[in-house]
Amino acid sequence: MKAFIIEGYSSKNGGHIAERPEPELRADDVLIRVQATGVNLLDAKIRKGEFKLVLPYKLPLILGNDVAGVVVSVGPEVTRFRPGDPVYARPDAQRIGTFAQYIAVNEHDLALIPGNLSMEEAASLPLVSLTAWQVLVEAAKLKKGQKVLIHAGSGGVGTIAIQLAKHLGAFVATTTSTANVAWVKALGADVVIDYKKQDFATLLHDYDVVLNSLGSDVLTKSLQVLKPGGQLISISGPPTPAFATELGLSWGLKQLMRLLSFRINRQAKRRGIRYSFVFMRASGEQLSEISALVSSGVIKPLVDRVFPFEEINEALAYVETGRVKGKVVVRVE
């Protein structure tokens, strides 16, 4: 099969299309013929080697963290899917590789694609929708009437998180650039902060939850908008010892993460705020719940551009510009 692989870690153009063996099927695996795959900033960070301490992938590595396609065959222990089913998933972090013609995915990481989505739309959803769900529903336990600030509202996670938070009954503020203010407002945000002209930290107060996906400066300033008892949840770091424990990392890495998150943890505790780091995990069960919201029109995927398989390097470069509205997708077949 054709696959986009990296031979080593590099900041730019560190990958190429090559022939690779089709994946072997485990007893509880589903073999998928990939039709489309989402492109995430995570893919670019993995290519650069930013996660090699916590996710020590074996090189050469097939990149890719979102898949939409059709079931080709199933392992003997699979009970939920059969050949011909249209499915999508964010594969387990240890088994990525959606930039390819085929991938084997554990059946518990899969869900059926909602009937109102194209393959490209489906491929745009798994990673970002699961991230939004695990932050807002699982970690924050966001409730009706609460106030949430979602940074980078025009990005992949932001666009879905705004829609999900509104569905949960929250009052939603978000940040974006001047060009995207009206576009993000149309997604349902109650307050839109133009970060080029306004300072969110001086305008927003007494919020219950902040979803941070930006750098350390924004992370620290976000403490100012939260009320005591509020939650600052970051998907961009710094990671915490709890994350190290969750991944089963070594004692040394756990101490490193304790050091990396020490400053923000201390600042948060002084204000009576809880800081946590979320690195999303695969979950077919949660994706099925999201699928129900997609089917009913509560959540709508937003695809910025679709690239052909031969232009994955260009797709990654576009994602790294930070100017993507929604998601970038690659059509594989």
The helix or strand, by DSSP H or E, that contains position 269, with its residue range, turns out to be: helix 262-270
User: Is residue 247 scored above 90 in pLDDT?
Assistant: no
The residues near 280 (Cβ < 8 Å, ≥ 6 apart) are 90, 127, 130, 131, 134, 235
d(CA 160, CA 86): 22
Higher local confidence (pLDDT), 98 or 50: 98
User: Average pLDDT in the 166-192 region?
Assistant: 97
Mean pLDDT of the chain: 96
pTM (2 decimals)?
0.97
**pLDDT bracket for residue 10 (50, 70, 90):** confident
pLDDT tens, residue by residue, 117-145: 999 999 999 999 999 999 999 999 999 99
Strand pairing partners for 233? 211, 276
Give the rounded percent of residues in the chain with a pLDDT score beyond 70.
Answer: 99
DSSP per-residue letters across 5-44: EESS--SSS--EEEE-PPPPPPTTEEEEEEEEEEE-HHHH
User: Is residue 12 scored above 80 in pLDDT?
Assistant: no
Residue closest to 131 by CA, chosen among 287, 13, 24:
287
pLDDT tens, residue by residue, 26-74: 999 999 999 999 999 999 999 999 988 888 899 999 999 999 999 999 9
d(CA 111, CA 33): 15
Cβ density class 185-212: b for 16+ within 10 Å, e for less: bebebeebbebeeeebbeebeebbbbbb
Q: Is the backbone of residue 92 left (phi > 0), alpha (psi -120 to 50) or beta?
A: beta
User: Is residue 13 scored above 90 in pLDDT?
Assistant: no
pLDDT tens, residue by residue, 180-205: 999 999 999 999 999 999 999 999 99
